[in-house]
């Protein structure tokens, strides 16, 4: 039994390290295009899950998040008072619950008498985590597991997690808006958390791994697109295309209109113009938008297959 628990813990730690590495690398690619932390935009997790707008709740979350954004450089290390402040702003009220609480069929939350001590312990654990990502998800899990308030615990936990990321200098809401990390599978959020018992020693690392994976899923396309942009810019620079001419080529290449044939010819390793190359593409991708979407799909496939030389794309484009 002990050996299986240890093995599960080691496996979860390995997944956590891998997810943190992806997030850290992706953060550099995405955040460097922003001058500062981005403000809130988009719906809440519950709006996506229930497919109906909740404008008042969204307004409170957006206002609280934007307040954190505006003071990101001066955010304090989260403590109990900060958690209560976040709850007051997103749900209303600063007092911890005085009674037991339940979520659906789950009743195993700590007694109200020890909530304050447990929140202090949770924040101490988060504040000593080796990275901002781990700190954010540790606080997130522990606050959900303690459920210190009568209502609004999820919103509070996610906002506190966001504060750790903003405080560490994260900028894009793909990373900082923890409220939106599970937009691709909103119901999985609750299901993943509810099946983890707080007293199970493998629960925290397993949930943290799942939460970091959700962050990776939410940002992977932006990361890939920025990496793609870097490759195209390096290719342009290698052929002496810089400054405004480079921007013109990149825009023309992506839209498939006007300039851009030169860059496409570079990628294909030939002197062919766009007019000549497009004859090799399926008729369904001739329209500018569809043509771009198809190219993005093909480039992603090439990346997934381990393509490192962009000239290899000519084979993908020729036989698609």
Domain that holds residue 44: 34-218
- Reported as a single tens digit per residue, the pLDDT across 265-291 is 555 554 445 455 555 554 554 455 445
Do 92 and 156 touch, CB atoms closer than 8 A?
Answer: no
Decide if 280 is inside a domain: yes
Length of the chain: 320
Average pLDDT over residues 8-18: 82
Average pLDDT over residues 187-211: 81
Decide if 70 is inside a domain: yes
Q: How far apart are CA 309 and CA 303, in angstroms?
A: 10
Please tell me whether residues 84 and 185 are part of one structural domain: yes
**What are 246's two structure tokens?**
């480079």
Q: Is the pLDDT of residue 51 over 70?
A: yes
Q: What is the pLDDT of residue 276?
A: 57
Which DSSP string do the residues of 141-172 spell out, in sequence order? HHHHHH--SSS-HHHHHHHHHHHHHHHTT--S
Confidence of residue 108 (pLDDT cuts 50, 70, 90): confident
Q: Which residue has the tokens 């295009």?
A: 33
Adjacent-strand bridge partners of 103: 106
Chosen domain end from 218, 253, 278: 218
- Reported as a single tens digit per residue, the pLDDT across 75-99 is 999 999 999 999 999 999 999 999 9
Q: What is the pLDDT of residue 16?
A: 92
Percent of the chain with pLDDT over 70: 74
CATH code for the domain in which residue 198 is found: 1.10.3290.10
Q: DSSP 3-state assignment of 273?
A: coil
- Reported as a single tens digit per residue, the pLDDT across 229-272 is 888 888 888 888 888 888 877 777 665 544 455 555 555 554 44
How close are the terminal C-alpha atoms of the chain, in Å?
52
Q: Which of 58-72, 172-186, 222-236 has the lowest mean pLDDT?
A: 222-236
Please tell me whether residues 206 and 271 are part of one structural domain: no
Instruction: Count how many domains the chain has.
Output: 2
Q: How far apart are CA 275 and CA 264, in angstroms?
A: 11
Q: Which residue has the tokens 């020729």?
A: 318
Please tell me whether residues 47 and 195 are part of one structural domain: yes
Instruction: Share the mean pLDDT of the chain.
Output: 81
Decide if 265 is inside a domain: yes
Q: What is the pLDDT of residue 186?
A: 87
Q: Which residue has the tokens 């781990």?
A: 134
**What are 305's two structure tokens?**
């297959």
Q: How far apart are CA 68 and CA 54, in angstroms?
A: 21
Beta carbons within 10 angstroms of residue 14's beta carbon: 12
Please tell me whether residues 244 and 283 are part of one structural domain: yes
- Reported as a single tens digit per residue, the pLDDT across 295-307 is 655 665 555 554 4
Bigger pLDDT: 297 vs 13: 13
What b-and-e string marks burial along 156-174, b requiring 16 or more CB atoms within 10 Å of the CB?
bbbbbbbbbbbbbebbbbb
Q: Report how far apart, in Å, the C-alpha atoms of 61 and of each of 57, 68, 192 are.
A: 6, 11, 23
């Amino acid at each position: 039994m002990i050996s299986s628990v240890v093995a599960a813990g080691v496996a979860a730690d390995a997944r956590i390290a891998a997810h943190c590495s992806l997030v850290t690398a992706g953060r550099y690619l995405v955040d460097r295009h922003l001058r500062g932390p981005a403000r809130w935009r988009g719906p809440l997790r519950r709006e996506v899950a229930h497919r109906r707008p909740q404008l008042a709740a969204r307004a409170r979350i957006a206002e609280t998040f934007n307040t954190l954004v505006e003071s990101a450089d001066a955010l304090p290390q989260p403590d109990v008072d900060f958690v209560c402040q976040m709850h007051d702003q997103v749900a209303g009220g600063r007092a911890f619950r005085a009674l037991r609480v339940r979520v659906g069929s789950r009743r195993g939350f700590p007694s109200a008498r020890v909530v304050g001590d447990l929140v202090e312990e949770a924040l101490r654990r988060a504040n000593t985590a080796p990275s901002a990502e781990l700190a954010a998800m540790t606080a997130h899990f522990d606050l959900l597991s303690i459920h210190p308030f009568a209502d609004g615990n999820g919103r509070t936990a996610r906002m506190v997690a966001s504060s750790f990321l903003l405080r560490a200098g994260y900028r894009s809401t793909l990373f900082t808006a923890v409220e939106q990390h599970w937009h691709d599978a909103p119901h999985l959020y609750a299901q993943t958390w509810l099946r983890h018992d707080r007293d199970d020693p493998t629960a925290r690392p397993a949930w943290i791994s799942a939460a970091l994976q959700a962050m990776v899923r939410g940002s992977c396309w932006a990361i890939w697109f920025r990496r793609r942009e870097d490759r195209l810019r390096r290719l342009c620079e290698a052929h002496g295309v810089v400054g405004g001419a480079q921007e013109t080529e990149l825009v023309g290449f992506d839209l498939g209109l006007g300039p851009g044939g030169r860059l496409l010819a570079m990628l294909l390793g030939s002197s062919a113009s766009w007019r000549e190359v497009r004859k090799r593409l399926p008729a369904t991708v001739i329209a500018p938008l569809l043509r771009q979407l198809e190219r993005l799909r093909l480039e992603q496939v090439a990346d997934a297959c381990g393509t490192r030389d962009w000239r290899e794309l000519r084979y993908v484009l020729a036989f698609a």
